[in-house]
């Protein structure tokens, strides 16, 4: 495995705008871009327990840091996510990547993933077309407004609210999206399973031709459940989804 740490993905950026690459030794690999969780206010990109098993399966894994509260405001973190995707698409061939890129994340990182998937303006602003993305993997995202975005806007963060800050807001007839896998947990955060199931049902009703799948994982919110052999169930789901997309 090859590792490249602390790569800036924007010019004159901050220490919160760096990414780490974990890559197979060979060439011609697809790449997973990963956004960490933490409520848009905590967490970090150091996630080699996800990176190593993906690299062992022959995929590149890019873990991204992004600006967070209290120093960031909406939509800084989404713009950072888009900028990191643009950087990877532009440069991954230099490391042996084949150009196939999957965007993924957990919890708050899954919210970023979903906003890039559903509101195409963010990637378009950095010169990335949706057809350049091979697929999206959302691990327990808020499909309604994120609670910390709600707090920034002056609302009670316990509310379930849909507006332009919510991925589900952008579901519409005729919207073309790339393949999407929606994941949530048996014992997830309150309302997270319901939001995810509603997102899936809404998309299948309004966008019946969209490639969208859904799965419930055992255990707690982002709890890294494993099979008896120690394999991370999340990694197994991601791997099978990517293989199906290929």
Q: Find the farthest-apart pair of alpha carbons in the chain and give their distance in angstroms, rounded.
A: 50
- In this structure, are residues 59 and 242 in contact, taking their beta carbons and an 8 Å threshold? yes
Provide block-wise average pLDDT over 10 residues at a time, the chain (246 residues).
97 95 96 97 90 96 98 97 98 97 98 98 98 98 97 95 97 96 96 97 96 96 90 95 94
Q: What integer pLDDT is reported at residue 48 of this predicted model?
A: 85
Q: What integer pLDDT is reported at residue 245 of this predicted model?
A: 94
- In this structure, are residues 91 and 126 in contact, taking their beta carbons and an 8 Å threshold? no
C-alpha atoms less than 13 angstroms from C-alpha of 142 in its C-beta half-sphere? 23
Q: How far is CA 161 from the centre of its chain?
A: 21
Q: What integer pLDDT is reported at residue 204 of this predicted model?
A: 96
Q: What integer pLDDT is reported at residue 209 of this predicted model?
A: 93
> What is the value of pTM for the model shown?
0.97
Helices of type H across the chain: 48-56, 76-91, 108-118, 121-125, 147-153, 192-206, 233-245
Give, in words, the CATH class of 2-245: alpha beta
Alpha-carbon gap, residue 103 to 118, rounded angstroms: 12
Cis before residue 124, ω within 30 degrees of 0? no
Helix (H, G, I), strand (E, B) or coil at 221: coil
Read off φ and ψ for residue 110, nearest 5 degrees: -70, -35
- In this structure, are residues 16 and 87 in contact, taking their beta carbons and an 8 Å threshold? no
The CA angle 166-245-242, to the nearest 5 degrees, is 80
Q: Where are the domains of the chain?
A: 2-245
Q: What integer pLDDT is reported at residue 47 of this predicted model?
A: 77
Q: What integer pLDDT is reported at residue 223 of this predicted model?
A: 86
């Amino acid at each position: 495995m090859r590792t490249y740490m602390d790569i800036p993905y924007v010019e004159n950026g901050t220490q919160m705008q760096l990414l780490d690459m974990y890559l197979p030794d060979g060439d011609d690999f697809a790449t997973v871009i990963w956004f960490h969780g933490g409520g848009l206010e905590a967490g970090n990109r150091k996630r080699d327990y996800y990176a190593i098993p993906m690299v062992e399966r022959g995929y590149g894994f890019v873990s991204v840091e992004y600006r967070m509260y209290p120093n960031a405001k909406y939509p800084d973190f989404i713009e950072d996510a888009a900028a990191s995707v643009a950087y990877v698409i532009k440069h991954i061939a230099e490391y042996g990547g084949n150009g196939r890129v999957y965007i993924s994340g957990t919890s708050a990182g899954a919210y970023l993933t979903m906003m890039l998937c559903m509101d195409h303006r963010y990637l378009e602003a950095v010169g990335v077309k949706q057809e350049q993305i091979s697929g999206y993997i959302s691990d327990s995202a808020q499909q309604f407004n994120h609670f910390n975005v709600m707090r920034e806007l002056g609302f009670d963060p316990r509310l379930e609210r849909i507006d332009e800050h919510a991925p589900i807001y952008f579901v519409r007839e005729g919207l073309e999206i790339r393949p999407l896998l929606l994941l949530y947990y048996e014992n997830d955060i309150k309302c997270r399973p319901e939001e995810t199931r509603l997102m899936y049902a809404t998309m299948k009703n309004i966008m019946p031709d969209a490639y969208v799948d859904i799965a419930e994982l055992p255990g707690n919110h982002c709890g890294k459940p494993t099979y008896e052999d120690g394999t991370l169930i999340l990694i197994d789901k991601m791997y099978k989804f990517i293989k199906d997309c290929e």
